[in-house]
Amino acid sequence: MSQPLLEIEDLKKVYTSHKGVLKRTRTDVTAVDGIGLSIKTGETLGVVGESGCGKSTLGRLITRLTEPTSGAVRFDGQSLFELNQREMKAVRRDMQMVFQDPYASLNPRQQVQSILEEPLIVHKIGSKSERKDKVAEIMKIAGFDPDLGNRYPHQFSGGQRQRIGIARALMTNPKLIIADEPVSALDVSIQAQILNLLKELQGTFSLTYLFISHDLGVVRHISDRVAVMYLGRLAELSDSESMYRNPLHPYTEALLSSVPVAEPAGRQEPIVIKGDMPNPANPPAGCAFHTRCPKVMDICKKVKPDLFPAGEGRFAACHLYA
Ligand code: ADP
Ligand code: MG
């Protein structure tokens, strides 16, 4: 681990929709609200938070599947939002995504071998026979018998389909993989296999991961550091071990208290987070979490907390650490 491979600076995305008969009612949702992060080469950064907090939008902004409202993303020395389409296409070779539902992202009429070959054709990599060899190599590494290359996605189980999704992401030898809820649709036993595969591949191919999940239990074992999001902002950024041992932000603490633990004896009473997540189109003033926070203070209702340093390499957007 050394230089940052990815640097995100004050990134923002506002979705605007118009409703009503005359489309005059305008609603703005700030899905990502000023996020700053960096990820070092070889690192796994986990991104967690409840559904709707902006995790997928963050991933899509980095790859420019969604265009940002403002901010900057630097990847491997390039400022991505300044690139034209052709330059961005070249970057996508080094930056691949894995999605929650591989079935939705795999063409049902394509055989696995042509699904896997496609990224090589798109990026004009290799001759026909080199491409064929690469497909066989990656299938083997992803845990497939290359003889199954002529099958179609529906002939595989959910876990195997996610192996195909991962294999496809690996075809171009990327540096960064953004995995958005890659195991959330799978049974727990299969989740562990896919997480192990991702860990193994990271070693084999020196990959850097941005690993998105709403499930803190899933993120824990794979992540070096974890970013906790709430309503489009970072609540906490910590190395994984410290965060799970000693969460800083009251939101992280509450999230963690509801994750099942291996030793039931050490289990504490879950902290119930009061109420529902606020409407993202109309977030609370001050700290967005103050309406649900067990440790709320007066200042929290008025002043939006910065991301304060709180221990070595740790940060919390909470006035307790001001
Ligand atoms: P997560 O992945 O954490 O569940 P998302 O990034 O999907 O969160 O969504 C964050 C917020 O942005 C939500 O309030 C969601 O409704 C809104 N949102 C996401 N995509 C769009 C879109 N294409 N148009 C309008 N609003 C969107
Ligand atoms: Mg999502």
- For the cut 90, the answer to whether the pLDDT of residue 12 exceeds it is yes
Rounded CA-CA distance 317/174 in Å is: 33
Rounded CA-CA distance 130/191 in Å is: 32
Using alpha carbons only, what angle is made at residue 197 by residues 192 and 199, rounded to the nearest 5 degrees? 95
Q: Provide mean pLDDT across the span 250-262.
A: 82
For the CA of 17, the closest atom of ligand 1 is 25
* Residue of 257 and 115 predicted with greater confidence: 115
Q: Quick check: is 7 in a domain? A: no
Q: Provide mean pLDDT across the span 304-310.
A: 97
Stretch among 104-113, 195-204, 232-241 having the lowest mean pLDDT: 104-113
Structure tokens at 112: 């696995």
pLDDT number for residue 322: 94
Q: β-strand 95-98 against 315-316: which pairing, if any? A: unpaired
- For the cut 60, the answer to whether the pLDDT of residue 263 exceeds it is no
Alpha helices in the chain (DSSP H): 55-62, 85-92, 102-105, 112-122, 128-141, 158-170, 188-205, 216-222, 240-245, 250-257
Q: Quick check: is 212 in a domain? A: no
Structure tokens at 58: 């963050």
pLDDT per residue over 86-128, tens digit each?
A: 999 999 999 999 999 877 888 999 999 999 999 999 999 999 9
In testing the pocket of ligand 1, which one of 11, 16, 56, 229 has its CB within 8 Å of the most ligand atoms? 56
Q: How far is the CA of 58 from the centre of ligand 1 (A)?
A: 10
Cβ atoms of residues 33 and 230 within 8 Å:
no
Q: How many CB atoms lie within 10 A of CB 131?
A: 19
Nearest CA owner, ligand 1 atom 23: 15
- For the cut 50, the answer to whether the pLDDT of residue 314 exceeds it is yes
Q: Quick check: is 276 in a domain? A: yes
Structure tokens at 276: 């529902």
Q: Quick check: is 194 in a domain? A: no
- For the cut 90, the answer to whether the pLDDT of residue 54 exceeds it is yes
In testing the pocket of ligand 1, which one of 47, 57, 228 has its CB within 8 Å of the most ligand atoms? 57
Q: pTM of this prediction?
A: 0.94
Q: Give the count of domains, the chain.
A: 1
Q: Quick check: is 41 in a domain? A: no
Cβ atoms of residues 60 and 1 within 8 Å:
no
The confidence band for 207, taking pLDDT boundaries of 50, 70 and 90, is very high
- For the cut 70, the answer to whether the pLDDT of residue 268 exceeds it is no
Nearest CA owner, ligand 1 atom 17: 31
In testing the pocket of ligand 1, which one of 11, 19, 28, 29 has its CB within 8 Å of the most ligand atoms? 29
Q: Quick check: is 267 in a domain? A: yes
Stretch among 178-182, 245-249, 278-282 having the lowest mean pLDDT: 278-282
Q: Quick check: is 252 in a domain? A: yes
For 310, the domain range is 224-322
Nearest CA owner, ligand 1 atom 18: 31
Nearest CA owner, ligand 1 atom 1: 52
First to last CA, the chain: 30
- For the cut 70, the answer to whether the pLDDT of residue 264 exceeds it is no
Shortest-distance ligand to the CA of residue 52 = 1
Stretch among 43-47, 57-61, 153-157 having the lowest mean pLDDT: 153-157
Q: β-strand 44-48 against 315-316: which pairing, if any? A: unpaired
Shortest-distance ligand to the CA of residue 48 = 1
Q: What percent of the chain has pLDDT over 90?
A: 84
Q: Provide mean pLDDT across the span 282-299.
A: 95
Nearest CA owner, ligand 1 atom 27: 15
List strands edge to edge, sheet with 78-79.
Answer: 25-40, 4-19, 70-75, 78-79
Query: Cα-atom radius of gyration of the chain, to the nearest Å?
Result: 21
Ligand 1-lining residues (CB < 6 angstroms): 15, 17, 29, 31, 49, 51-57, 280
Rounded CA-CA distance 208/213 in Å is: 16
pLDDT per residue over 155-169, tens digit each?
A: 999 999 999 999 999
Nearest CA owner, ligand 1 atom 11: 31
